[in-house]
């Protein structure tokens, strides 16, 4: 444990800790534009330079490990001048039109330039030109705004194991992007938007749907309904200065009504519906394998996360049969809203305009998949990220923090606690097991407060097993079977898990994968900046929402019973098959 | 290294070349640092790096296509467009630049009637600029195929280039400088 001083303050940290991290521990913030927590730093931006006594030059604190007896200075004239020079150089070629930039007021370059007190840019040079790539439905890239910090490259390659982005060409011509600087649509990109979540500037942002939604709200011929994913309510408050993990469910509903949505529903309702369908699908696969001794695609993979779906389609097409055929809750909602609910209120599918609010960027892609029109028209018309909803609320001049709490509308709004935890890594699995176990045994899942601790935390790959005993007669063939499940979040972890499954090293019955680290609460569409501490706060909030609900299991949701009674008839039935299930497409990786 | 000279413009050996590429990939699969040597050998075989070859390398070595492209785009040695029978590379590294590399480049452009990145209509020469062959002491330098020519004067470029129109093998004559530099 080396001992050192930073700005005169003594500190003792573990071997291998960098100066930047050591400073953070004692409350000293060193500015940086490229550092990403928990990931091998590369020292690209040079903003984090510090003075180390005895060192010939300034050192980048994000890559320099501490050593015994080091004396470090983080604030001096020399450092302020050096940092200013670095940032001025970045600004000298940055295509910065701050007022019209998507990241205005939410930009790390803008912030650091302000903090350093940069008044004018002394260097005159060639500016990078705006070079906007709108080729994909979920993301927009602009090389003109890119400062080449490589955070997106790190996230895309190391965290997500996708590798769509990499530095291309050389010197001043360097661009960060797909192979040979071509459009994003030409490569295997899963549209998870983690690049947009970590980009310090406006170089990668989501495709903005705000104007599309305003237009629908102004259109008198449309009935505009909105659904909100569970992960949004634990993060939306951050757009208004509330701490991460503040649950704002009631205020969010109130804000949506004030924006003009005639009906405010909840994706949670179809999350419960997903659980019924997905749990029954798992049981039918188990029945096929165990009782009928027929080949069945096991493990079954969850299918709620559209980035993960696209990842399988690109990188593991041989596992497509293992993906649950259940649509995600967003798409089940669209299909049900434009059929079941539309009929209830006497509307045709094309008179209903469905808006989703999602913590996700890939949901924008999912909504436009050609399969997603089982109502006869596109089931979900527009997808807003949490960030976009925050911005709409601001546009409308709503004082969010002072709003009263309101509750969602009936039928497609009622939900169980199991639906809330869909937003957390391990949550879909817990929700599914709460239902599946009870179907098989007639008893509640035997875990305290229905929590399976082993699959709840932030570890990348988690496992659990449940041994089935004393089944109800219908499922007696599962007597004594130990059901093995695994959970992965972040596609890099999913990749490691898939390799284990592929090689036969690990055998499971059911696997949950969420594209983003932490699950949907850490989605590409959430307010910036999502650190692990933020993820944990949001996860805690979702568990709190779950445990506070009277109904904790999807199959106990009375409105779910009602929709099966009135409309769907039975899980995995004819209507379900048409409206709630889907198919996938094998895609080429290069 | 595999001794294969591309006979540009001919597709005859395409299938054999792919077979050879597969042999190389088999040898290098799973080895760290495989990408650059595989790219070098592939370029030597095909004369340039076609998209189909790069995609195959990406899949077989398990490297993202963006990374393969990034490496190809970074090093001026690699080319994704077909080249002429002889490749002329003019060094514009610091030493060569200050000692007249730019004038040498202008003279070659004029002599061949092409710009940087282009190939002569008779497909004899392609022209590129490069950064440092490691021959700074004898700047300005150019490379034609594998030969380094040093202390090149703009008036002499015609003479140097003419050698390559008559000669069949790539082994240099007296005037060719040290070989294999810059690899």
Q: What residue spans of A316-401 are helical by DSSP H?
A: 329-336, 342-344, 362-367, 386-395
The pLDDT assigned to A189 comes to 98
Tokens at residue A557, please? 């949701």
Q: How close is the nearest chain B Cα to the Cα of A383, in Å?
A: 29
Tell whether B68 and B28 lie within a shared domain: yes
- Considering the candidates A324, A328, A415, A576, report the single residue annotated as catalytic: A324
Q: Judge contact between A66 and A18, C-beta under 8 A.
A: yes
Tell whether B95 and B148 lie within a shared domain: yes
**Computed from CA positions of residues A575, A576, A579, A583, in that sequence, does the dihedral angle turn out positive or negative?**
negative
Q: Considering the domain boundaries, does residue B81 fall inside one? A: no
The pLDDT assigned to B33 comes to 94
What number is the average pLDDT over the span B61-81? Answer: 93
- Considering the candidates A148, A363, A364, A462, report the single residue annotated as catalytic: A363
Q: How close is the nearest chain A Cα to the Cα of B130, in Å?
A: 12
The pLDDT assigned to B180 comes to 40
Cα–Cα distance between A336 and A455 in angstroms, integer? Answer: 31
The CATH H-level superfamily of A274-327+415-580 is Fe-only Hydrogenase (Larger Subunit); Chain L, domain 3 (3.40.950.10)
As a three-state string, the secondary structure of A532-589 is: HHHHHHHHHHHHHHHHCCCCCCHHHCHHHHHHHHHHHCCCCCHHHHHHHECCCCCCCC
Contacts of A177 in chain B (CB under 8 A): 66
Q: Judge contact between B93 and B132, C-beta under 8 A.
A: yes
Q: Considering the domain boundaries, does residue B99 fall inside one? A: yes
The pLDDT assigned to B9 comes to 47
Cα–Cα distance between A386 and A237 in angstroms, integer? Answer: 10
Whether A3-75 shares its CATH topology with A274-327+415-580 is answered: no
The pLDDT assigned to B167 comes to 61
Q: Can A185 be counted among the known catalytic residues? A: no
Contacts of B67 in chain A (CB under 8 A): 157, 163, 166
Q: How close is the nearest chain A Cα to the Cα of B159, in Å?
A: 33
Q: Can A9 be counted among the known catalytic residues? A: no
Instruction: Write the residue in A157, A170, A180 that is nearest to B69 by C-beta.
Output: A180
Q: Judge contact between A50 and A86, C-beta under 8 A.
A: no
Tell whether B67 and B97 lie within a shared domain: no
Tell whether B124 and B59 lie within a shared domain: no
- Could you tell me the residue ranges of all domains in chain A? 3-75, 88-206, 274-327+415-580
Does residue B129 sit at the A interface (CB-CB below 8 Å)? no
Contact B64 A163 (CB under 8 A): yes
The pLDDT assigned to B132 comes to 87
- Considering the candidates A102, A238, A278, A313, report the single residue annotated as catalytic: A278
CA angle A327/A328/A334 to nearest 5° reads: 85
- What topology is assigned to A3-75 in CATH? Ubiquitin-like (UB roll) (3.10.20)
Q: Considering the domain boundaries, does residue B174 fall inside one? A: no
Contact A166 B69 (CB under 8 A): yes
Q: Can A284 be counted among the known catalytic residues? A: no
Tell whether B69 and B45 lie within a shared domain: yes
Beta bridge partners of B88: B127, B144
| Reported ipTM exceeds the 0.85 cut | yes
Tell whether B149 and B90 lie within a shared domain: yes
Contacts of A170 in chain B (CB under 8 A): 73-74, 76
Q: Considering the domain boundaries, does residue B7 fall inside one? A: no
**What does the mean pLDDT of chain A come to?**
96
Q: Considering the domain boundaries, does residue B125 fall inside one? A: yes
Contact B73 A180 (CB under 8 A): yes
Number of domains in chain B: 2
Instruction: With CA atoms as reference, report the closest residue to A527 among A387, A383, A363.
Output: A387
- Helix (H) or strand (E) holding A21, with range, is helix A19-25
Residues spanned by the domain of B143: 86-166
Which residue bears the tokens 């040498």?
A: B104
Higher pLDDT among residues B10 and A510, named by residue: A510
Q: Can A363 be counted among the known catalytic residues? A: yes
Cβ count near B76 (within 10 Å): 13
Q: What is the pLDDT of residues B33-59, one digit of tens each?
A: 999 999 999 998 888 999 999 999 999
Tell whether B62 and B110 lie within a shared domain: no
**A37-42, Cβ contacts within 8 angstroms, sequence gap of 24 or more:** A37/A531, A37/A532, A38/A532, A39/A154, A39/A155, A39/A158, A39/A159, A40/A154, A40/A158, A42/A150, A42/A154
Mean pLDDT, contiguous 10-residue spans, chain A (590 residues): 95 96 96 92 94 96 96 97 96 91 95 95 86 97 95 97 96 94 96 98 98 98 97 98 97 98 96 97 96 95 98 98 98 98 96 98 98 97 98 98 96 94 97 96 93 94 95 95 97 98 96 98 97 96 94 96 96 96 95
Contact B73 A589 (CB under 8 A): no
Cβ count near B137 (within 10 Å): 9
Contact A179 B69 (CB under 8 A): yes
The pLDDT assigned to A39 comes to 87
- Residue B3 predicted with pLDDT over 70: no
Interface of A with B (CB under 8 A): 157, 162-170, 177-181, 187-188, 589-590
Q: Judge contact between B101 and B75, C-beta under 8 A.
A: no
What number is the average pLDDT over the span B147-158? Answer: 94
Contacts of A188 in chain B (CB under 8 A): 65
Contact B65 A163 (CB under 8 A): yes
Coil, strand, or helix at residue B160? helix
Residue A121 has what DSSP assignment? -
- Residue B170 predicted with pLDDT over 50: no
Which CATH number do you get for residue B142?
Answer: 3.40.30.10
Q: What is the pLDDT of residues B94-148, one digit of tens each?
A: 999 999 999 999 999 999 999 998 899 998 999 999 888 888 999 999 999 989 9
Report how far apart the first and last C-alpha atoms of chain A are (Å, whole number).
Answer: 47
Tell whether B70 and B96 lie within a shared domain: no
The pLDDT assigned to B13 comes to 63
Instruction: With CA atoms as reference, report the closest residue to B141 among B87, B167, B177.
Output: B177
Detail the DSSP E strand segments found in A297-369.
Answer: 300-301, 352-358
Beta bridge partners of A484: A465
Contacts of A179 in chain B (CB under 8 A): 65-66, 68-70
Tell whether B98 and B154 lie within a shared domain: yes
The pLDDT assigned to B173 comes to 41
Q: How many residues does chain A have?
A: 590
Architecture of the domain delimited by A88-206? 2-Layer Sandwich (3.30)
CA distances from A586 to A6, A278, A295, A321, A406 (A): 54, 22, 21, 11, 44
Contact A187 B66 (CB under 8 A): yes
């Amino acid at each position: 444990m080396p001992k050192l001083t930073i700005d005169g303050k003594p500190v003792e940290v573990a071997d291998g800790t960098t100066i930047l991290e050591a400073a953070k521990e004692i409350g000293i913030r060193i500015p940086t534009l490229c550092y990403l927590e928990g990931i091998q730093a590369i020292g690209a931006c040079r903003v984090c330079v510090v003075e180390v006594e005895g060192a010939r030059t300034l050192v980048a604190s994000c890559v320099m490990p501490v050593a015994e007896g080091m004396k470090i200075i983080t604030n001096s004239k020399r450092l302020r001048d050096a940092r200013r020079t670095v940032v001025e150089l970045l600004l000298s070629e940055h295509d910065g039109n701050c007022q019209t930039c998507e990241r205005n007021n939410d930009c790390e370059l803008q912030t650091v330039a302000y903090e350093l007190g940069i008044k004018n840019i002394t260097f005159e040079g060639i500016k990078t030109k705006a070079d906007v790539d709108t080729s994909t439905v979920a993301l927009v890239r602009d090389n003109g705004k890119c400062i080449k910090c490589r955070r997106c490259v790190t996230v895309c390659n190391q965290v997500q194991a996708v590798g769509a982005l990499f530095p291309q060409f050389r010197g001043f011509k360097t661009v960060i992007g797909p192979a040979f600087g071509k459009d994003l649509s030409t490569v295997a990109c899963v549209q998870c938007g983690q690049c947009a979540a970590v980009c310090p500037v406006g170089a990668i942002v989501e495709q903005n749907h705000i104007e599309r939604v305003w237009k629908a709200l102004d259109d008198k011929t449309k009935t505009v309904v909105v659904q909100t994913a569970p992960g949004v309510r634990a993060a939306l408050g951050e757009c208004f200065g509330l701490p991460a993990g503040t649950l704002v469910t009631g205020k969010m509903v109130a804000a949506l009504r004030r924006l003009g949505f005639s009906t405010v529903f909840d994706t949670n309702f179809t999350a419960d519906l997903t659980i019924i369908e997905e749990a029954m699908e798992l049981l039918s696969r188990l029945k096929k394998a165990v009782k009928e001794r027929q080949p069945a695609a096991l493990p079954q993979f969850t299918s709620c996360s559209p980035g993960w779906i696209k990842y399988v389609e690109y990188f593991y097409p041989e596992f497509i049969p293992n993906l649950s055929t259940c649509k995600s809750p967003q798409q089940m909602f669209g299909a049900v809203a434009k059929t079941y609910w539309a009929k209830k209120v006497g509307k045709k599918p094309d008179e209903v305009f469905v808006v989703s609010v999602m913590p996700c960027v890939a949901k924008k892609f999912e909504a436009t998949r050609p399969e997603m029109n089982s109502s006869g028209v596109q089931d979900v018309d527009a997808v807003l990220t949490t960030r976009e909803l925050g911005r709409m609320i601001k546009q409308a001049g709503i004082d969010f923090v002072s709003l009263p709490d309101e509750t969602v509308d009936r039928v497609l709004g009622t939900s169980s606690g199991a639906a809330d935890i869909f937003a957390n890594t391990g949550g879909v699995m817990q929700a599914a097991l709460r239902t599946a176990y009870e179907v098989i045994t007639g008893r509640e899942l035997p875990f305290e407060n229905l929590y399976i601790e082993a699959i709840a935390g932030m570890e990348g790959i988690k496992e659990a097993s449940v041994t089935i005993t004393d089944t109800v007669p219908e499922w007696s063939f599962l007597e004594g079977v130990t059901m093995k499940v695994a959970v992965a979040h972040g596609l890099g972890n999913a990749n490691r898990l898939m390799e284990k499954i592929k090689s036969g090293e690990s055998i499971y019955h059911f696997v949950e994968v969420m594209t983003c680290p932490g699950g949907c609460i850490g989605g590409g569409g959430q307010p910036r900046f999502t650190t692990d501490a933020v993820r944990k706060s949001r996860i805690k909030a979702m568990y709190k929402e779950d445990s506070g609900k009277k109904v904790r299991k999807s199959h106990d949701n009375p409105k779910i019973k009602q929709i099966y009674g009135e409309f769907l008839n039975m899980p995995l039935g004819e209507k379900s098959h048409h409206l709630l299930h889907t198919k996938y497409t094998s895609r080429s990786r290069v | 290294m595999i001794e294969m000279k591309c006979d540009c413009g001919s597709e005859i050996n395409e299938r054999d070349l792919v077979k050879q590429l597969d042999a190389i990939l088999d040898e290098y699969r799973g080895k760290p640092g495989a990408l650059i040597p595989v790219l070098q050998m592939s370029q030597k075989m095909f004369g340039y790096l076609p998209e189909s070859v790069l995609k195959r390398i990406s899949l077989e070595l398990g490297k993202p296509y963006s990374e393969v492209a990034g490496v190809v785009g970074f090093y001026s040695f690699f080319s994704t467009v077909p080249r002429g029978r002889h490749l002329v590379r003019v060094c514009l590294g610091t030493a060569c630049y200050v000692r007249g590399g730019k004038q040498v480049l202008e003279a070659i452009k004029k002599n061949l009637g092409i710009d940087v990145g282009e190939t002569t209509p008779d497909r004899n020469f392609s022209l590129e600029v490069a950064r440092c062959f490691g021959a700074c002491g004898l700047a300005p330098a150019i490379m034609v195929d594998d030969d380094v020519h040093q202390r090149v004067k703009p008036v002499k470029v015609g003479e140097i280039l003419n050698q390559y129109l008559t000669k069949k093998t790539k082994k240099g004559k007296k005037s060719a400088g040290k070989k294999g530099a810059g690899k």
